[in-house]
Amino acid sequence: MFSGCAGGAKFATGHLSQTLPKTTLVICLLLVALFWEPLLGFGARTRRDSTSRGRTAESIHKTRCHPYPLKILWLDNESSTALLDSRQKVALFLEKARDAGFNVVVPDVKNYMGFGFYRSSILPRASSVGGAPYPKDFDFLAAVVEEALARGLHVHAGINLFSEGGKGLLPSQRVGPIYEHPEWQTVLYDRWAQLSFSTGLTTRTLAVNSRGSSGISVY
């Protein structure tokens, strides 16, 4: 087997010698020898590099950004106002969150009506939420950040963007900076018919039923 292979190699080399100049043949062999190893090693290096990049990304993810895997708890300042309107309540809430296994909390610090729950020289502070008074001097964001960090929790603030006023059913719910600056408003006109009552309530007429003998039809 070995001698046959050697003979075949000799025949192939001799054949090439007859068809190509010897100088050209030598150059071709040198080029093959020069590029053969890098071509073979390229795939292995690519695999090593991608594995290294994966480990680096994972380590940065764990150490610099936030813990992994993420267990996030959203602190809704609309539905949970009474539970989060003092530092003591925030501390108790975060204590329970940590014990339950959460490692990231997202406090709601700007509501859809455009009011903030932190000290700001630009954003108006929330004085009431859902009709209930909210403590004026309470910096909700500062309290969450300080109490969360003391318990090893990460904090990411949640902010409602481009939402500076509420459009509720009651006049008391139609509040926000946008009403003080109507020039900021972008109004969406729809085709739904709407009924307005003397009490200030409004409702949409989503369907038209057959009129009864003592009823009225709304179009």
Helix boundaries (H) for the chain? 2-19, 22-60, 87-99, 140-149, 177-180
Q: Which domains are seen in the chain, by residue range?
A: 2-65 (no CATH), 72-182 (3.30.750)
Tokens representing residue 4 in the block: 């046959």
Query: Tens-digit pLDDT profile for the chain (219 aa)?
Result: 434 444 433 334 444 444 456 666 666 666 655 555 555 454 545 455 545 444 554 554 455 556 678 899 999 888 888 889 999 999 999 999 999 999 999 999 998 888 999 999 988 988 888 778 889 889 999 999 999 999 999 999 999 888 888 777 677 778 888 888 888 887 776 666 777 888 888 877 766 565 666 666 655
The pTM (predicted TM-score) of the whole model is 0.56
Distance of CA 77 to the CA centre of its chain: 19
- 152: region left, alpha or beta (phi > 0 left; psi from -120 to 50 alpha): left
